A and B are shown apart, each in its own frame.
Chain A
Amino acid sequence: MTVFRFDGSFDGLLTGVFLAYSAKKRPECVVAPGGEMPLFSSDVVDVVTDVSKSERVWNALLRKVSRGAASAMAISFLCEDNAFYTSLFRFICRVFDSAENVESDFSDADLLAILENSRRVKGEAHRVVQFMRFQKAADDTYFGIMEPRYDVMHMAVEHFRDRFSDGKFIIYDRRRDYGYYYDGRRLERMRLSSDRSHMTTGILPDDMADADEQLFQKLWRTYFKYTAIPERINPRKQRQDMPVRFWKYLTEKNGL
């Protein structure tokens, strides 16, 4: 049984595809760091990520399938599911093996897994757009922090840049400890070095927050409470559409 070990990056996976054709080897299993090695393996190949090779594979992929299908594959990769990498690898190889375009062969379990995972990752990016809450800081920067399940900040940041292009904002992924800062003109990826309480609780301390911040938070909590119809209380639906894992940083679910 042949196993490809790669570094866990998308470029690494595509380099693996390159290797599969150049070395004429087909792995039964593709493993990222932290992934489970199969119990019995005859041939373990360590894939050395090479961007020039992965780019060739990506460009070749774009000639075989539509841009939408290729981007679904790239997005599905972000699902951080070790068992899925083999499916993705196998399907990319199938694309190259087939004379016709196989991107709409929805009876292929690998393709269905790609669709499902890209849907999940896109859903998480949408939730960042939905549930990001900004607090206004004393210097007029709007500060927002979250812990999304997948690494999707780069998919959501363009939305915020377009929407709030006339001001300063920070969106921050606490789980991966990086974020984006927009100063009104330019967007930059950065890491915050502060160890103050807002980095753990998400709440800006009084000396950092704008003077009116508390007031508008209070107004929002009031609105949130009074817009619900008491005769129709439905906590199950609420949790379904707004999973509890997001509540930690939601203004309306915290504070007085």
Chain B
Amino acid sequence: MRFGGLKVPYICIVMTESVIERLKILAGAAKYDVSCSSSGTVRRNNGKGVGNTVGGIGVCHSFADDGRCISLLKIMLTNYCIYDCAYCVNRRSNDVPRATLSVSEIVSVTMEFYRRNYIEGLFLSSGVVRNPDYTMERMVRVARDLREVHRFNGYIHLKSIPGASRELVNMAGRYADRMSVNVEIPNEASLKYLAPEKDHKSVFEPMAYIKQGVLENKEDRRRLRHVPRFVPAGQSTQMIVGASPDSDKDILALSSALYSTPTMRRVYYSGYVAVNLYDNRLPALKQPPLVREHRLYQADWLMRFYGFKSGEIADDDNPNLDLEIDPKLGWALRHPELFPIDVNKAEYELILRVPGIGVKSAALIVNARKYRHLTSEHLKKIGVVMKRARYFITCNELASACVADLSPEYVKRQLLSAVKAPASSDARQLQFDF
């Protein structure tokens, strides 16, 4: 390892074994944070240092044994914490091994990992030590050293510490691509119950700082082109699912409100892993609610890419998402009167609402139908899942029964049994053995 161009191997060897041990603890402590994306900024190498960011969908460099992507080095500066939040593994009253990495240790691990193409950058968070500002200041130092000393031009995601001062958030925003403050619990009363030292103000205030910073920066850059960008990839947040009694309706309503603010790019949902079993304020879950988490992500997608409102996905009559079927199918079954939709005539937005047709096939359909009348054969080749879509569309062929003529319950049963039965036993499909 090099410090300022000087080779000092002996320091490195002393550092090594203890760094490995501390990395174990601090990677383990950071792992419950879901966010990992490295997307949102396109920045070419400036020719003076190392690194770029690719934008688009980002780059996942590896996939851990739990199937989650590894894009950023997701790590905590320290897992010592003055708070005692019931849902958190690092809470003050837990008897877990504690560790701290120094600023220079994190910086050099990030640089070495990045050079070997292990990661896209750093996602740094921290337990709160002494006070929020002290902690935030050390995180800012990591980001500043990476950018200014090591000329690191890759991705940096900084967690904003709840309660940190506006000045520090502003400084952090100059170095970070993305910042995040986790909502964790969608309902303020539940949050106060589980984390007595926190309230929604401590979450939404730093979010507002980041938002204002981005908007002011946009204004400045309009006048002076060379003003450096401020949190160019916007902010994200996370909600824990299943640690409090809040319904999916509450969660989605909050997500939708967050997405309506100009800088919020992603809301993540984290199925609660029962880390503090002894705390009887929390439900004793054997398994994290993975299906519910999956349904929430599907609902999130519907809001972001399919033009759904949160009230359409979950409302007072159906406050929780159906675990058996996806939320788009759920919506369609609640509105049989809107179907069938004519794929050769209907607008893009309506086609997008058909179960079995995604963003990609909807775009292909509206292009392809300019050339000729589309039949179900065409749709199948385009990639429409006809097994689902056939109850909801028409293309002026021999009409297959539509959800409006059948009953929604019948269609649901049909689709669920089709999922469970192996594909080859599908009786509707003729088979010839050659």
Contacts and interface: CB of A to CB of B under 8 A. Distances in A.
A229 interface: yes
B68 interface: yes
B368 A144 contact: no
Contacts of A241: 60, 63, 67, 69
Nearest to B28: A226
B16 A215 contact: yes
Given A216-B113, A241-B67, A224 B62 contact: yes
Classify chain B: how many residues form its interface, as a range: 35 or more
Nearest to B285: A231
B116 A166 contact: no
Interface string A221-246: 01111111111111111101110000
Interface string B29-54: 01110000000000011011111101
A231 B371 contact: no
Contacts of A220: 113, 116, 118
Contacts of A105: 367-368, 370-372
B114 to A, nearest CB: 9
Contact of A226 (B9, B24, B372): B24
Interface stretch (A2-10, A21-29, A124-132): A124-132
A216 B1 CA distance: 10
A159 B61 CA distance: 14
Contacts of B359: none
Interface string B198-230: 000000000000000000000000000000000
Contacts of B390: none
Interface residues of A, number: 56
A251 interface: yes
A42 interface: no
Nearest to A165: B45
Contacts of B164: none
Contact of A107 (B51, B60, B288, B378): B378
B117 A132 contact: yes
A135 B117 CA distance: 9
B381 A212 contact: no
A227 B31 contact: yes
A109 interface: yes
Query: Considering residues A134, A167, A229, A237, which has the most beta carbons from chain B within 10 angstroms of its beta carbon?
Result: A229
B433 interface: no
Nearest to A160: B117
A24 B368 CA distance: 30
A192 interface: no
Contacts of B287: 231
A211 interface: yes
B368 A226 contact: no
B62 A222 contact: no
B23 A237 contact: no
B303 interface: no
A208 interface: no
B371 A107 contact: yes
Contact of A219 (B64, B70, B109): B109
A172 to B, nearest CB: 13
Given A129-B59, A223-B27, A226-B24, A238 B116 contact: no
B44 A162 contact: yes
B374 interface: yes
A219 B20 contact: yes
B112 interface: yes
A219 B382 contact: no
B364 to A, nearest CB: 4
Nearest to B27: A226
Contacts of B44: 162
A132 B119 CA distance: 11
Given A165-B45, A226-B24, A250-B62, A142 B16 contact: no
B47 A165 contact: yes
Contacts of A190: none
A222 B24 contact: yes
Nearest to A232: B66
Contacts of A235: 65, 67
Given A212-B1, A232-B67, A112 B381 contact: yes
B12 interface: yes
A102 interface: yes
Contacts of A126: 59
A237 B20 CA distance: 27
B364 A232 contact: no
Contact of A167 (B32, B48, B50, B69): B50
Contact of A159 (B54, B67, B74, B116): B54
A223 B75 CA distance: 9
Contacts of B374: 107
B273 interface: yes
Q: Give the top 9 A-B pairs by smallest Cβ distance, nearest first.
A: A237-B67, A234-B67, A106-B368, A228-B64, A104-B367, A106-B364, A107-B378, A232-B66, A228-B65
17 contacts: A105-B370, A107-B378, A131-B61, A131-B62, A133-B118, A134-B116, A135-B116, A136-B116, A142-B116, A162-B44, A220-B118, A223-B73, A228-B31, A238-B64, A238-B67, A251-B118, A252-B118
Interface of A: 102, 104-107, 109, 112, 126, 129-136, 142, 144, 159-160, 162-167, 211-212, 215-216, 218-220, 222-238, 240-242, 250-252
Interface of B: 1, 9, 12, 16, 19-20, 23-24, 27-28, 30-32, 44-45, 47-52, 54, 59-70, 73-75, 109, 112-113, 115-118, 151, 154, 273, 287-288, 290, 364-365, 367-368, 370-372, 374, 378, 381-382
